[in-house]
Amino acid sequence: MWLFLAFVLVPLIEIGLFIQVGGLIGLWPTLAIVLLTAVVGTYMVKTEGRGVLRDLQNSINNMQDPSEHLASGAMILFAGALLLTPGFFTDITGILFLIPGVRSVIFQQIKHKMQEQRSRGQSGGGFRSETIVVDYEVVDENAPKSGPSGPENQGPSGWTRH
């Protein structure tokens, strides 16, 4: 449902903003702003992406939890896609994802929600999945006993019909 709303609402918001901004400043300045945000956004994605990659490598080298850096990298990738999409709403959203403090707040919110879901699942309030591993050995009691030099009976194994 959320995805459907995004695909309907975002284009409507963009069209409305294009009409409003274009009416205020004209066609060519509006198009210039859209082009400028794409160019500046691409530079910012490249710069922020390098920084996050460096931080990710440092956290791995120092045996620290890299999850925030991984999430930050995913948000920067998403920001790049938003900035390359023509429009004011997507550009503003993309620029917000490029601000380290905003990414950190979003990561903390996601982490908090995941911890809530995990604790709800452990208290019996939600779906809980467990994996049970069973180790077994199949023994055929009718099979001939084998000695130290190998099987006494070299006939069919009993698994196939001859």
Per residue in 102-125, pLDDT (tens digit) is: 999 999 999 999 999 888 876 555
Full domain range(s) for residue 72: 9-121
Each residue's pLDDT tens digit, 13-60: 999 999 999 999 999 999 999 889 888 888 999 999 999 999 999 999
Checking if the pLDDT of 133 tops 60, the result is yes
Does 138 map to a domain? Answer: no
pLDDT for res 92? 92
Is 130 a member of any domain?
A: no
Within-domain flag for 17: yes
Distances in Å between the Cα of 160 and the Cα atoms of 4, 75, 140, 155, 156 are: 56, 58, 14, 11, 7
- DSSP E strands in 23-147: the ranges are 146-147
The encoded tokens of residue 1 equal: 């449902």
pLDDT band at 77 (very low <50, low <70, confident <90, very high): very high
Confidence (pLDDT) at 153: 54
The mean per-residue pLDDT over the stretch 86-91 comes to 92
Question: Tell me, what amino acid is at 159?
Answer: W
**pLDDT score for 119:** 84
**How many domains are contained in the chain?**
1
In a domain, 80, yes or no: yes
Please state the pTM of the whole predicted model.
Answer: 0.67
